[in-house]
Structure 1
């Protein structure tokens, strides 16, 4: 951690030529725009990283979180059009690609300069315990035998919708009826209230909704996870098989991406990535990931560029399907 922090300082000196220069970066607070309301997962990721940067004294100026509510396109466009001076960055997830792929946005991830990717979570398709459905095979068989009748709660064009489409495509002929519900809590409520028949939730959300604080099963829980879309089983619910274990070629996981305006100097992007990488290695951020059930990953440079392209290659055809729903 000290080595990375030292590299960050060295990079800053290289950019400015002098630590005390008038035009040193950063010489004012850095804004990290989260294009969602405060309190959500993206907001928590941003604030945990910002606090780790400040507590570790990794930059001479603080990183401040700016929440831009409403549709995520508003905050995303704000950063895309911001001055490329290193004082405004975007923190977002796969919704940016979903928006581009479905045609909801007239811009996309290639209109930015990538800085880093961090944290990763996958999802669990589920039903109510009283549904009579006890496996992924039964769920997809019903979606195939009775197409467009199983109501799938989603935030159309976003994470749970894209995941549901990918799961649906694993069984030729299967078809869910996707309806607009919202995020994780809203979909949990709709599912338990029998307004929907199925949805997906993150591993952390499933634990929150199904387990007691001591780790025992909540007897009042009404939901039943059927599988996990990660490459390996989710540690917090290790009894749940992965989709691939069940014979379905489905892997769907989401990282938080940090972007800069397209023409931001490489030196500034590299310096900010240094600070973020050290922050991501802090005990506080590792604990945050552990508590949320996120994988403690961090990508930058060519690695994050490759991850973006790989993710787009997988998401683009699924997002095209969303246009038809």
Structure 2
């Protein structure tokens, strides 16, 4: 009887081993449950990545791109690097057009801002529009401020508002150019507050601030980092933040919304890739940028130029771009920038 039990046990063990050996393994990139793609690996990057900045060297976008490019290179697979390439012109459309036309292989990407993708397409002169790219990551969302000289008679937003209401079209303010985000932000404040001011466009925010310090205009609307040096030097001061958020270095400057005016025009900065870039490549780029954005050294470098990280993933960043495109389009129509 014992011999019979032993024989039966041995037969069952041999059958189990045979079934195990005959079971087909799950194909590469597929789990035993049949899920496709979750384990797919690609060999990327295998050469340096070019990140196009559609502005001249030395500006805020260029500075942010270079800070991040150095840090991102430490987080890319295969020890590859990221190289910044400045391609200014056409109100940022020349550089972004090159990104738009690039092969979607992850080796040519771009650092965009609100003007390039949420304003310029409204004029119909660019081959792309706000959703012609693959969003990778938003790295900054920078508010804009109305600044005046420190010797100006207006110490507060309320004092300034009282003056411009009593003196329509007399207050002059400079921006980086007609139709740029700063111009749109101020026009939005004009509409919300029922006031009239006189716009003086310059070829960039730097010349606008210089003109303000020199007394050629009475105010300027610029991104916070563009005003930082002159504020720190005690030459100008901010009266109101016409963006949607505050940053630490401007925490005492009131938001227009806090004063009862629905004006929220920020300048986003983020990374775009050509449309149809494979999801695996987008994921690798996103993760490398996100890790760089979280580095204490990067945060400190951003702080030195007057900005703070403002992370958003691909879906949220694309929504930010689309919302900004729609909002700016409405304002541009109301103020006569669009027919």
TM-score by length of 1: 0.83
93-102 or 233-242, which moves further after superposition? 233-242
Matched, 1:283 2:296: yes
The change in CA–CA distance for 1:179 and 1:258 in structure 2 (over 3 A counts) is same
Aligned to 1:253: 266
Tell me, in whole angstroms, the C-alpha distance in 1 between the residues paired with 2:165 and 2:157. Answer: 12
Q: 1:113 to 1:324 in 2, by over 3 A?
A: closer
- Check the 8 A contact 1:184/1:201 in 2, yes or no: yes
Query: How has the CA–CA distance of structure 1 residues 111 and 157 changed in structure 2, closer, same or farther, with 3 Å as cutoff?
Result: same
Question: Residues 152-191 of structure 1 correspond to what in structure 2 (within 5 A)?
Answer: 152-154=173-175, 155-172=177-194, 174-191=195-212
Tell me the distance in 2 between the aligned counterparts of 1:137 and 1:101.
34
Preserved contact between residue 48 and residue 284 of structure 1 (Cα < 8 Å): no
Tell me if structure 2 keeps the 8 A contact 1:162–1:322.
no
Q: Distance in 2 between matches of 1:92 and 1:290?
A: 20
Tell me whether 44-53 or 121-130 shows the greater mean CA deviation: 121-130
Q: How does 1:24-39 map to 2 (within 5 A)?
A: 24-39=43-58
Q: Which has the higher contact order (CA 8 A, sep 6+)?
A: 1
Describe the SS at the equivalent of 2:131: helix
CA displacement 1:32-59 (0-9 Å, x = unmatched): 0001111111111111111112234555
Q: CA deviation at 1:103?
A: 4.2
Q: CA shift at 1:164, angstroms?
A: 1.6
Contact 1:117–1:300, Cα closer than 8 Å, also in 2 = yes
Preserved contact between residue 130 and residue 325 of structure 2 (Cα < 8 Å)? no
Displacement, 1:272?
Answer: 0.9
Counterparts of 1:117 and 1:185 in 2: how far apart (Å)?
A: 24
Instruction: Give RMSD over aligned pairs.
Output: 2.5
* 2:241 paired residue number: 228
* 2:62 maps to which of 22, 29, 43: 43
Equivalent residue runs for 1:255-274 within 5 Å: 255-274=268-287
1:151 aligns with 2:189: no
In 2: Cα distance, 1:150 partner to 1:324 partner:
24
Structure 1 residue 144, shift from structure 2 partner: 4.3
1:8 — aligned with what? none
Q: After TM superposition, what 4+ stretches of structure 1 lie above 6 angstroms from structure 2?
A: none
CA distance in 2, matches of 1:137, 1:106: 43
Q: How does 1:1-16 map to 2 (within 5 A)?
A: 14-16=40-42
Superposed, 1:13-162 pairs within 5 Å as 14-16=40-42, 24-56=43-75, 58=77, 60-71=79-90, 72-96=92-116, 97-154=118-175, 155-162=177-184
3-state SS in 2 of match to 1:170? helix
Determine the structure 2 residue equivalent to 1:319. 332
Instruction: Tell me the alpha carbon deviations over residues 212-255 of structure 1, each in whole angstroms, 9 at most, x when there is no partner.
Output: 5xxxxx3xx2x232112344544224432222222222222222
Find the aligned partners of 2:226 and 2:201 in 1 and give their Cα distance: 19
1-structure distance, mates of 2:148, 2:80: 47
Kept after mapping to 2: 8 A contact 1:164/1:199: no
Q: Say yes or no: does 1:192 pair with 2:213.
A: yes
- Confirm or deny that 1:239 pairs with 2:258: no
Deviation at 1:276, TM superposition (A): 0.9
Secondary structure of the equivalent of 1:256? strand
Q: Is the 8 A contact 1:92 1:257 kept in 2?
A: yes
**Using a 3 Å threshold, how does the CA distance of structure 1 residues 59 and 247 change in structure 2: closer, same or farther?**
farther
Please give the per-residue CA displacement for 1:169-214, whole angstroms capped at 9, x wherever unaligned.
2212x222222213332111111222212211333343311225xx
Q: Distance in 1 between matches of 2:237 and 2:69?
A: 36
1:208 to 224, 229, 234: 229
Deviations 1:63-112 (A, max 9, x none): 11110122211111111111112111110111121212344535322111
